[in-house]
Structure 1
Amino acid sequence: MKFKSPLMAVLLLSLSGCAATIPDITTAEVTGRQVEFALSKHQTVPVIFENGLGGTFEYWTEIYPTIARDATALVYNRAGYGNSAAATTTRDGRHIIEELRGLLASQGLTPPYVLVGHSLGGLYMQWYARHHPQDVAALILVDSTHPAQLKGAGAIENWPLWVRLLFDMLTSATAEQELAALDLTGDEVLAAPPYSGGPIIVLSAAQPLEDTSELALDANQKRKDIAQLYPGAIQRWVDSGHVIPLEKPESIISAIREVLLTTQPNSTKPNAVTNKP
């Protein structure tokens, strides 16, 4: 199934779920709250995955097991998703990333990290990289939410009424809270200096470019613009809808392996390559 629109992806995947599962799932108490995650440990820079709006770590089922075979890797569910206990704090990037940092510290995962974020998870990883650049070895954005995603033509009031109604009916209170805090997170991302400390790969969904509605044109322009927020970023257009982790997981695996090669001791960075539609 192709998911060209981030909105439709959230709605449809909330109903369908994922057939595969993540291996070796566990829970641990972190700062008084239960957190669900899976972790593999090897002698590499840790790869940290962040889920999109309304999504659980099962979106990474085609990617995490492959990476975890020979790299340190962690997938987890944010507060209020899966078996992770809900939190009472604002569901913005600042609180979500501080909770993630607490989990990483509790599991003995020391920086720097390769950050991989899909959709809204990409916005959270942008927040992390800009506010804690010393913690980051590389940044991989997977059809990431733009910091200004809900500004201008993308504002919620411009969504079709039926989409707004379905979103309210099918998404959790936690997802609604994250959406409500998206502008705050985006503003804080743009207020901080761009991350430039390591490789940045932007994987963008090419199939939505075919849509010509006003809302889609705005979203697609922001897809094109997001790489411009990070000088030196490599943008690659993937023949996929929005949910690249399920539709074209090999593109993400390849990007992770590429940056892992550049983040190991005594390694050198490869020449940047651009791939535009």
Structure 2
Amino acid sequence: MCVSLLWLSGCAAVPGTTTAVVAGRTVEYVQAGQGAPVVVFENGLGATLDWWAKVWPEAVAETRALVYHRAGYGRSDASPQPREGAQVVHELRSLLRARQLPPPYVLVGHSLGGLYMQLYARQYPAEVAALVLVDSTHPDQVKGAGNPDHWPAWLKAVFKATTSDTAQQELAALDATGEQVSQLPVDPSIPVWVLSALRATGAPSALAEDAERKRAAIAQLYPGSTQVWVDSGHGIPLEKPEAVVSAVREAVRAARDARDVQKVQ
């Protein structure tokens, strides 16, 4: 998560959006492409699936893919359940099962979506073929200087005025989500790509410095991961979609290579 997210917006649409009722709740999603593994995209805080519009065509040319709106975004019904990561992961898994999309998946998450995908990979490593973190939120993002209690009053006001109730609930639950991630081990067999923004801006200096330290530390959470510093702001999927496409292709290739090895064995 980065406060610069508040001033960025998608400029294109992902075609083919539809809805399905999953566990009694309407969920908006797009599913396209052919083949395996399935690539699953997770949005950042306050973001819509259109953030992936520049990445989507290349992803579905490579394999099957799914992008969706979490509860309370787009045409997806809000949920009365807490907006902690464990609930988000549960709802995503329910959608994937309902769409009959088999694991293992290549999970791709931007910003807060990256934290949710980290939790998915740690909770259910057997269901994950690879992980692509796009300027992901760190599990400790809202500790220390990143704590929203330390934000200047103007930033708190802007966030409250420009984000939905759901986004505010997700931010309030972010520390709990981070704890859920930190309490689970990393599976070293899952390849991880970490895309990090070189030009993330939009925050006061103390908050920005704290965010930079945590951005650099993401790769340290995953020994052996591939970290790519991208000449972009926080909105990498919009500003430098080719970086995301490249990482997704590499992740899909790694997943297929691992599958082929298992077949031989």
Say whether the fold is shared (TM-score over 0.5): yes
Q: Give secondary structure in 2 for the equivalent of 1:69.
A: helix
Counterpart residue number, 1:214: 206
Q: 1:176 aligns with which of 168, 171, 192?
A: 168
Matched, 1:188 2:205: no
Matched letter for residue 113 of structure 2: G
Counterpart residue number, 1:12: 7
Counterpart residue number, 2:145: 153
Counterpart residue number, 1:242: 234
Q: Give secondary structure in 2 for the equivalent of 1:62.
A: coil
Counterpart-to-counterpart distance in 2, 1:209 and 1:163: 13
Matches within 5 A, 1:1-277: 6-9=2-5, 11-13=6-8, 17-208=9-200, 213-264=205-256, 265-266=259-260
* 8 Å CA contact retained: 2:27, 2:76: yes
Change (3 A) 1:57 1:212: closer
Gapped regions of structure 1 (runs ≥ 5):
269-277
Matched letter for residue 119 of structure 2: W
Counterpart-to-counterpart distance in 2, 1:6 and 1:69: 30
- Cα deviation, 1:130-159, whole Å, max 9, x if unaligned, reads 111110000000000000000011111221
Matched letter for residue 76 of structure 2: S
Counterpart-to-counterpart distance in 2, 1:89 and 1:217: 34
Change (3 A) 1:54 1:114: same
Change (3 A) 1:20 1:267: farther
Counterpart-to-counterpart distance in 2, 1:196 and 1:41: 29
Q: Give secondary structure in 2 for the equivalent of 1:207.
A: coil
Change (3 A) 1:85 1:212: closer
Q: Give secondary structure in 2 for the equivalent of 1:241.
A: coil
Change (3 A) 1:106 1:236: same
* 8 Å CA contact retained: 2:201, 2:233: no
Indicate the percent of aligned positions where both proteins have the same amino acid: 51
Report how many residues are paired. Answer: 260
* 8 Å CA contact retained: 2:4, 2:200: no
- Cα deviation, 1:75-108, whole Å, max 9, x if unaligned, reads 0000000000100000010000000000000011
- Cα deviation, 1:104-137, whole Å, max 9, x if unaligned, reads 0001101100000000000000000011111000
* 8 Å CA contact retained: 1:97, 1:128: yes
Change (3 A) 1:211 1:102: closer
Q: Give secondary structure in 1 for the equivalent of 2:140.
A: coil
Gapped regions of structure 2 (runs ≥ 5):
none
Counterpart residue number, 1:272: none
**Per-residue deviation at 1:214?**
1.6
